[in-house]
Amino acid sequence: MANPTPIESASVGFYRVDQIIELLGISKSTWWLWVQNGKAPKGHKLARNVTVWKRSDIHAFCESVAPGESTTPPEAA
């Protein structure tokens, strides 16, 4: 199989908050609390009510939570 093009790569692009909370199975308030406390990656403001996160940052964040554990993120460094 050929290498995926950048567009086909899961780590290229952005997620919005609704996609992230669906991926993690948490509420919006929990996500925003984690971001505020530095436990989750900081997003990038595109407009007043539009924040996005790099897919690669979210995938790395998800991998930092061990399988079988709750979605509670590791303590911020």
Tens digits of per-residue pLDDT, 46-72? 999 999 999 999 999 988 875 555 555
Strand partners, 53: 15
The DSSP line for 28-62 is HHHHHHHHHTTSS---EEEETTEEEEEHHHHHHHH
Tens digits of per-residue pLDDT, 7-39? 456 668 999 999 999 999 999 999 999 999 999
| Longest CA pairwise span in the chain (Å) | 42
- What is the pTM assigned to this prediction? 0.71
